[in-house]
A and B are shown apart, each in its own frame.
Chain A
Amino acid sequence: MSRPGLSCPGCGSSNIVEDDLYAQQQLVCVDCGSVVSEGALANDPVGGSEVSYSRTTAVAKKPCMNLIKGLQRVKALCRTLRVNREIEDLSETYYNQAYQHKSFIKVSLNKKEVLAGCCVLVSCRLLNWPITMGTISCLLDADSMVVGAVYEEMVKILNIKAPIINVTDVMEAHSQEYKISSVYVPEELAENSKDLTKRAVALVELAADSWIVTGRKPIPIMMAAIYLAWQSLKPTKQRLKYSLDKFCQIAKVNKHKPALKRITEMKEVLCKLGKEIPWVKEPVTPDNVVRLMEDILQHRDALLRRALRTHEDALLADCQASCEDSLIEETAPSQISEVVEQTPDLSSVELCESNAERAKQPGDGDDNQCAASEQHSYTQGSQDSSQNWGKRVLFAPPCVIHAKKRRVEQPEPKDVTGDEEISDSEIDSYIRTPREARDFALAQKMFSMSESEKS
């Protein structure tokens, strides 16, 4: 075949044909016989072509080696977690899909391993086998933030809607990690995993009702629950002496520092409930509340109701006291004594309660005045309480109880239009005078010289 566009360097003719000599392609000029170029070999880059020989002669496309290794890693993770066959198959499918996607095909091997873990995680979630991200991070020995980022990207790409796990679901799987049964530790410290789980789940449910669980990482909560459950199942002096550190050592788990805070918070809640137990005479403190934990958890609904009622009564008493104070300030002395004597505690307390109950005012002339002054003090109270409802209720998250003072919006922005005049004097305040600039440059030089002298 003749090749257009090429010209022979020898005679300039454009009559060049391809000719095979010993299976090597050559471009030869017909007129003068000189060889223009010797086939593909001359054009190959130094050191061989980009595509390896085995690849060019391969018949079928071989699957990527890293993909195979990744799938084996997925299998290994599934075996470690001892999940069932379906989850294993699903994770492998997802891994195949995600691996081929453009966001994951060229990432580092480290990230591909994390991807394997995330596939296992999402399959477990979909097929109702709750495990936490922390477990996966532990198995992969990777940072949980990295795992989280890869997980979110993968879920977005594969368009999976995975259910969110509840802490109570994960508790059983988590408690299996603790080596605290009689096989591993001496009898006085041993605990059956089932009992431990049951007690810990009850504790976590109580914590969920009292704002300890919301918004917090689940693993420290579970650790705190299991530790307290372990202590309360046999509250001997020996067990109570064990700190969280030692407990984690004997159970062979890594301690999480936030668990200490959770323990304090849980003990606080238990104390608040423990106070309501009618047969306990001594004061309930965080030290002795562990012994009462069994009773508290068993009757926690009733105790919660009692605690809420006590709290409400205390609030009403406060409100009534403040109302009486305001009455004394605003109304005449004679009227006060009448009002205070006549109005029974209940009605003035009713006026103090919610807006809805304000409608139930007793139709008493004096009470109208009382109501007016209370409205005044109540609206102020309601403004504060709507922004800081933590002070009103028995349980609230710490960020609400110790609320940061919200910056009041300044009226200044309303006067700003963005296109006003800018005075020179204002701008001059941002510029150094030439003398200042020279002094500054000098000081910098001296500074850098003294530093270089030191070093």
Chain B
Amino acid sequence: MDSSNDEALDIIVTNVVATFRTRCHLNLRTIALEGTNVIYKPEVGKVLMKLRKPMITASIWSSGKIICTGATSEDEAKLGARRLARCLQKLGFKVRFSAFKVVNVLAVCSMPFAVHLIDFTKNNRPIASYEPELHPAATYRIKNLKATIQVFSTGSLTVTGPNVQNVATAVEQVYPLLFECQKPLCK
């Protein structure tokens, strides 16, 4: 993903969370009995199923709502969700894959410079907030993109947003602000 500068910043997507519905009631005990890689949690009322090929963990509720986590891209999340639905179909449930939606994307990125967090917060109040006693990073929330960026003083960022495009835009937006508050690396 190229930024407005010459160097390209590596934005690595580490987690994609997606939900979908099967439009039918699911019997959790059957799934727990007949599925492999399955953990049944009766106290919470859900089943955790792990797929191998896209490394995905799915939480399955008896109402038919399913949350998939662990994918590294939106397409992978969709593939994993469809695989899961197919698996449930084979177990005997009348599954219809519907309402697939990517809910959250988590990405990390590393700036090639360190950031002076106090200056960054002062320049960008109230969008940015920094409480060193609570958390070592400054939080920058972009309302219109619904993205949250946590900036660490070493220059690492973690970005969360509703989809990959928003995450990339958020990094582009915040880069110039970080650039002007950079700290020289030694002393």
Contact = CB atoms under 8 A, between A and B. Distances in A.
A420 interface: yes
Interface stretch (A317-325, A342-350, A394-402): A394-402
Interface string B31-47: 00111110000000000
A323 to B, nearest CB: 22
Interface string B10-25: 1010100000000000
Interface residues of A, number: 55
Contacts of A379: none
Interface in A139-192: 144-145, 148, 151-152, 155, 159, 161, 164, 166
B1 to A, nearest CB: 11
Given A164-B118, A409-B12, A430-B87, A437 B75 contact: no
A134 interface: yes
Interface string A421-452: 01010111111100001001100000000000
B186 A395 contact: yes
A427 B86 contact: yes
A218 B135 CA distance: 11
Interface in A371-393: 386-387, 389, 392-393
Contacts of B152: 215
B8 interface: no
B75 A386 contact: no
B132 A407 contact: no
A420 B75 CA distance: 10
A219 to B, nearest CB: 8
Nearest to A414: B73
Interface in B75-94: 75-79, 82-83, 86-87, 90-91
B78 A418 contact: yes
A308 B187 contact: yes
B155 to A, nearest CB: 9
A396 to B, nearest CB: 8
A422 B78 CA distance: 12
B105 interface: no
A380 B149 CA distance: 30
Q: Which of B52, B73, B129, B132 has the most CB of A within 10 A?
A: B132
Contacts of B143: none
B147 to A, nearest CB: 18
Contacts of B86: 422, 427
A218 B153 contact: no
A437 B35 CA distance: 8
A430 B37 contact: yes
A85 interface: no
A416 interface: yes
A308 to B, nearest CB: 6
B186 A428 contact: no
A148 B133 contact: yes
B33 A437 contact: yes
B133 A134 contact: yes
Nearest to B110: A387
A246 interface: no
B76 A413 contact: yes
Given A148-B131, A399-B154, A437 B34 contact: yes
A14 B93 CA distance: 62
Contacts of B75: 413, 416-418
Contacts of B35: 430-432
Interface string A190-223: 0000000000000000000100001111110000
A133 interface: yes
B100 to A, nearest CB: 9
A392 B134 CA distance: 30
Of B51, B137, B154, chain A has the most CB atoms within 10 Å of the CB of B154
A161 B36 contact: no
A215 B133 contact: no
Interface of A: 132-134, 144-145, 148, 151-152, 155, 159, 161, 164, 166, 209, 214-219, 304, 308, 386-387, 389, 392-397, 399-400, 406-407, 409-410, 413, 416-420, 422, 424, 426-432, 437, 440-441
26 contacts: A133-B131, A148-B131, A148-B134, A164-B130, A166-B118, A215-B152, A217-B132, A308-B187, A387-B110, A393-B185, A397-B154, A399-B154, A409-B10, A410-B72, A417-B79, A419-B82, A422-B82, A422-B83, A428-B90, A430-B36, A430-B49, A430-B87, A431-B36, A431-B90, A431-B91, A440-B33
